[in-house]
């Protein structure tokens, strides 16, 4: 009887195009809190107060305190072995690979991932709500500087992330669904698979005959559809998966 991770490695060996979808769970072992797991952020804060256009209009300072706090956590964090394993997978599959992340923390890029799209934006991107000025600003603000003003027109800057109820970046979405249509395997890691349209991607792969591998310590709506479920932390099981994929002898 082969172990689930050996089954997953065997499935990857037979994969022509790999789509990887990641969520907050892949950054958990870097010390970044998730949203809905047992000690998730949405258990302590109401997303409607912090991550909607209405919240930004109503209380820009509070919204910026939240994003500034998360920026501080992320700047202290480092990519973990789960992020690093995905860089090896990208090198293994070459142009038959796309990493689609829902995360805004930039840890995939810091690990070295390149063939990737950010469906929900990036926490260090900033956009002026008045003149459209944009910049990438990988730093936190001193409390007294919140909310930050546009250096061009003085208008309110907002974080370049997708708030609840907003449309996702068109090009990222187009690339993600094009990859999902091409993929014969989707490796879904660290997502509760409840937020759309990101959560539609694994179903897109499944619907045209592709197979799912899920990496999540907890069950999700995708678990019953997965060919292989790895109920372990990503930082622990993804390096093993990559080693098995590279080893000639599948029993290694």
Binding site for ligand APR (CB under 6 A): 23-25, 28-29, 34-37, 40, 102, 120, 190-192, 195, 215-218, 220, 233-235
- How many alpha carbons fall within 13 Å on the CB side of residue 80? 20
Rounded CA gap, 76 and 194, in Å? 28
Nearer to ligand APR (CB atom), residue 16 or residue 224: 224
CA nearest to 175, candidates 121, 122, 117:
117
Pick the catalytic residue from 83, 92, 120, 137: 120
120 classed as catalytic: yes
Residue closest to ligand APR (Cβ): 25
- Shortest spacing between CB 47 and ligand APR, in angstroms: 6
Rounded CA gap, 161 and 156, in Å? 15
Could you count the other beta carbons within 10 Å of the beta carbon of residue 14? Answer: 9
- Shortest spacing between CB 140 and ligand APR, in angstroms: 20
Give the pair of three-digit tokens for residue 114.
């390149």
- Shortest spacing between CB 152 and ligand APR, in angstroms: 28
Rounded CA gap, 170 and 166, in Å? 12
Nearer to ligand APR (CB atom), residue 150 or residue 186: 186
Nearer to ligand APR (CB atom), residue 7 or residue 80: 80
Catalytic center residues = 120
């Amino acid at each position: 009887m082969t172990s689930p991770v050996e089954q997953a490695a065997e499935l990857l060996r037979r994969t022509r195009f790999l789509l990887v979808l990641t969520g907050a769970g892949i950054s958990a072992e870097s010390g970044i809190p998730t949203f809905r797991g047992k000690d998730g952020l949405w258990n302590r804060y109401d997303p409607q107060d912090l991550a909607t256009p209405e919240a930004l209009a109503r209380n820009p300072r509070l919204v910026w305190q939240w994003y500034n706090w998360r920026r501080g956590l992320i700047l202290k964090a480092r990519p973990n072995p789960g992020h690093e394993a995905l860089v090896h997978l990208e090198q293994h599959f070459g142009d038959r690979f796309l990493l689609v992340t829902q995360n805004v923390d930039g840890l995939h890029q810091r690990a070295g991932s390149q063939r990737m799209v950010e469906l929900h934006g990036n926490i260090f991107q900033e956009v002026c709500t008045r003149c459209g000025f944009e910049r990438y600003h990988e730093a936190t603000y001193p409390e007294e500087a919140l909310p930050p003003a546009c250096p061009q027109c003085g208008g309110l800057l907002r974080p370049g992330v997708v708030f609840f109820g907003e449309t996702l970046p068109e090009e990222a979405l187009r690339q993600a669904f094009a990859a999902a249509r091409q993929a014969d395997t989707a490796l879904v890691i660290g997502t509760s698979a409840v937020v759309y349209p990101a959560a539609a991607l694994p179903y897109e792969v499944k619907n045209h005959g592709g197979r799912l591998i899920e990496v999540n310590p907890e069950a999700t709506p995708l678990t019953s559809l997965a060919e292989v479920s790895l109920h372990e932390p990503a930082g622990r099981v993804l390096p093993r998966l990559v080693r098995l994929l590279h080893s000639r002898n599948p029993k290694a």
